[in-house]
Amino acid sequence: MSKLSRRSVLRGSIGLAAIGTLSRPFIANAANKTASVWWTQGFVPEEEASFRAMVAEYEKTSGNKIDVSIIPFAPIRQKIISALTSGDVPDVMSNYNAGLTIVPQNAWNDKLVDLTDVVDTQKSQYHPTALLASRYYNNVTKTRSLYYVPTATIVAPLHVWRSLVEKAGYKMSDAPKTWDAFWDFFKPMQKRLRDKGMRGVYALGLQPTTAGPTDGNALFHHFLIAYGGSRIVTGDGAPHLDDPQVKEAVIKALTYITAAFKEGYVPPGALSWNDADDNNAFHAKQLVVDLDYTISTELALYHKKEEYDDILTLGLPLDNAGQPIASQLGVAGAFIPKGAKNVEVAKDFLKYVIQPAVVNQYLKGGLGRALPAMPDLVKNDPFWLDPHDPHRAAYARQGMLEPTAPLYPIFNPGYAEADSQQVWGIAAADVIREGMTPQAAAEKALKRMSDILAKYPIAAS
């Protein structure tokens, strides 16, 4: 595990201040108080080391203390839910997908502290999509506000084994630029690779899973948007499930994903994959191409240079009409539950974390697995667009410099409930296992979605 010294943190801060991206808010000395913080364990050990270095620097700067609990990804989600249910809460909570799974309903139920004053300290620095993705509807106040402090962002790039493509006799430079043609490009490679002895290889890492929690939903939504269904729920929280274009996009997405599965281009086990299973299959070279959030797929091999360099990281293709597709921008962040005992210190800590130089150094220390939520950091720090790294630059461009959009649970908390029930994964399973047509499965899924969203009426503003 690598560690960042105080000197290295300060050196990074000074470097960014010199190029004008640092606007440092006042860090209060809150009478040497302590705040309790639950933070998600990094996917690579460098992330945890970088976070601990940042906490140590805050304690030196502020005189306050941070009681940190770093908890693995799956257990922290259950721990957060239990704490919010019981009311016995820490001062700060953070989980990579909390903005999709926990914050929407708890903001709706008025269980979170409004963090507008925290976010406003860096409002001018934030990417517009990151700001939009931090605003949630409160059903008690009947308004939207900032209940989530963005600390990082993520998008879903494509991950391709360059050596498998070449072994099959193809070149990635010949890959089509539009959505269906791009995915179809990999299908013939499967037979060629199997003919060369790779019996367990599959062309596509699609995830028509009902297990969740997030990857299957993410895959479906990328296909939905590529087929023109982006307005399934709009920024005002209103669903548009009867929109003919949305219905057509749902049907097309189910058709492509399930046909690829039934034609044998997707591993049979994908029907019950969890979020780690596609990564494991990709690392075992059972998949030629995979679509998955972050570059954790690549960073898992960071210390195996030959394999690390063999993976090609790509942004999204164009849609079938040749137009750019907006990547759904996931926002990682932190929130403060009502009932927290040390809100003043909690806010002070978060104000410190989101200073551009501080958060940039923290994310760089984590090898860039998560991106900043601030475009200027990507533009002005050579680390993010380094042409010598085969993955980071493509990932950073996709997340901060190319078109993005928030994920749907931000707009309406009912969508978070629908995602947790794996509505789209069940629809794919209805086609694959039950023999339903994509049209019938789409109608069933849209009806279920309508019933769920009807529980979350949002007042027009």
Q: What share of the chain is helix, strand, coil (3-state, %, to 5)?
A: 50, 15, 35
Residue in this structure with the two tokens 């050196």, named with its chain if needed: 11
Provide the phi-psi class of 204: left if phi over 0, else alpha when psi is between -120 and 50, else beta.
Answer: beta
pLDDT surpassing 90 at residue 27: no
pLDDT surpassing 60 at residue 19: no
- When mean pLDDT is compared across 14-28, 55-69, 222-236, 331-345, the lowest value belongs to 14-28
- What contacts 317, CB < 8 A, 6 or more positions away? 176, 177, 178, 179, 181, 182, 226, 325
> What integer is the mean pLDDT of 29-39?
81
Cβ(132)–Cβ(410) under 8 Å? yes
Q: What is the distance between the alpha carbons of residues 97 and 52, in angstroms, rounded to a whole number?
A: 21
Quickly state the pLDDT bin for 25 (edges 50, 70, 90).
very low
pLDDT of residue 15: 38
Mean pLDDT of the chain: 92
Cβ(221)–Cβ(283) under 8 Å? no
pLDDT of residue 32: 63
As a residue count, the chain comes to 461
List, edge to edge, every strand of the sheet that includes 34-40.
Answer: 65-71, 34-40, 92-95, 330-335, 149-154
Quickly state the pLDDT bin for 28 (edges 50, 70, 90).
low
pLDDT of residue 96: 85
Quickly state the pLDDT bin for 213 (edges 50, 70, 90).
confident
Each residue's pLDDT tens digit, 356-390: 999 999 999 999 999 999 999 999 999 999 999 98
Q: What is the distance between the alpha carbons of residues 329 and 293, in angstroms, rounded to a whole number?
A: 10
pLDDT surpassing 70 at residue 5: no
Q: What is the distance between the alpha carbons of residues 161 and 142, in angstroms, rounded to a whole number?
A: 49
Q: What is the distance between the alpha carbons of residues 66 and 152, in angstroms, rounded to a whole number?
A: 20
pLDDT of residue 192: 98
